[in-house]
A and B are shown apart, each in its own frame.
Chain A
């Protein structure tokens, strides 16, 4: 982490292309057999989705990554509160980002608002992350 945090500071954003191989590896890594993530006829014809659904917790992981990459070795994430509001689909490109909302320079305690949004600017997964800078 290079600059000293300040309230309102935006973190570097990251784009994620939702790739089918990544979905397969991610869900296999969890042992998640939910068909909506890899069985296209099932996802579209039975469940009525427009495509393969990106696993919700992967969007949660991308929220963490925005803060984790920014912190690097300067601190660690101590908590998160987030929800999955809108689905992302394989083939979409989504953007993860965040903003510092609270910072106590004495203790090093940070609060950040984070998001994953799609290219229509819909917020798919909003969250609040708390982190602690090393002191």
Chain B
């Protein structure tokens, strides 16, 4: 351990976003399906959403003047890390139920872990964000863990 992570940074573990509630529309599914090059008619017609459609539904919509110069929004769930260069990350997703037009879905994101490891060319910081998406009956629809690496 190189002790990069201060108590202050680590104190952010467990922080949650406010729940974000969005409605699924047929048009949004169709646009997403066309843009991804899908060839399955059920998606192109918007009858049901393809996997990963939740990325579209819950991407933060923020005012242009709050984007950073490279066009990226600031994720307020994250503390200021001592390393900032983002490397490849990973996703681990479970699909519990299909998503259809007219569904109201609510996502909550939690910063579930922050840790460091020694990499080949120096220290690396890992962080994990859990996203849970539920329908209005409270049933789990999609759960997702994102792992990001900073160097």
Could you list which residues of chain A lie within 8 angstroms of chain B, going by C-beta atoms?
A: 16, 22, 25-26, 28-36, 39, 42, 46-47, 56-58, 60-62, 64-65, 68-69, 72, 76-85
- CB neighbours (8 Å) of B61 from chain A are 31
Q: Knowing A29-B31, A29-B35 touch, does A76 contact B98 (C-beta < 8 A)?
A: yes
Contacts of A84 in B (CB 8 A): 88-90
Q: How many contacting A-B pairs (Cβ < 8 A)?
A: 90
Contact of B71 among A30, A35, A83 (CB under 8 A): A35
B39 and A69 form a contact (CB under 8 A): yes
Contact A77 B95, beta carbon cutoff 8 Å: yes
B7 at the interface (CB under 8 A from A): no
Give the size range of B's interface with the partner: 20 to 34
Q: Are B92 and A81 in contact (CB under 8 A)?
A: yes
Does A26 contact B36, Cβ atoms closer than 8 Å? yes
**Cβ of B89: which chain A residues have Cβ within 8 Å of it?**
56, 83-84
CA distance A8 to B50 in the complex (A): 26
Measured CB to CB, the closest approach of chain A to B95, in angstroms, equals: 6
Smallest CB separation, A61 vs chain B (Å): 4
| Contact among B35, B56, B72, B94 with A33 in the assembled complex (CB-CB below 8 Å) | B72
> Could you name 13 residue pairs across A and B whose Cβ atoms are closer than 8 Å?
A25-B34, A31-B61, A33-B64, A46-B70, A56-B89, A58-B36, A60-B52, A64-B52, A65-B36, A65-B50, A72-B40, A80-B93, A82-B91
Query: Nearest chain B CB to A83's CB is how many angstroms away?
Result: 4
Q: B28: which A residues are within 8 A, CB to CB?
A: 29
Once the chains bind, are A25 and B35 in contact (CB under 8 Å)?
yes
Residue of B whose beta carbon sits closest to that of A58: B36
- Residues from chain A with a CB closer than 8 A to the CB of B72 are 33-34
Closest B residue by C-beta to A47 = B70
- A-chain residues with CB within 8 Å of residue B40 when the two chains form the complex: 68-69, 72
- Point out the residue from A31, A42, A80 that lies within 8 Å of B59, measured CB to CB: A31
A64 touches which one: B31, B50, B71, B88 (CB < 8 A)? B50
CB distance from A16 to the nearest CB of B (A): 6
Interface set, chain B 40-81, CB cutoff 8 A to A? 40, 50-52, 55-56, 59-61, 64, 67, 70-73
Measured in the bound complex, the distance between the Cα atoms of B79 and A130 in whole Å is 33
From A79, which residue of chain B is reached at the shortest CB distance?
B94
Cα(A65)–Cα(B35), bound, Å: 13
Residues of chain A with a CB closer than 8 A to B91's CB: 60, 80-83
- Specify which chain B residues have a CB less than 8 angstroms from the CB of A56 in the assembled complex: 89
| Nearest CB of A to B82, in Å | 21
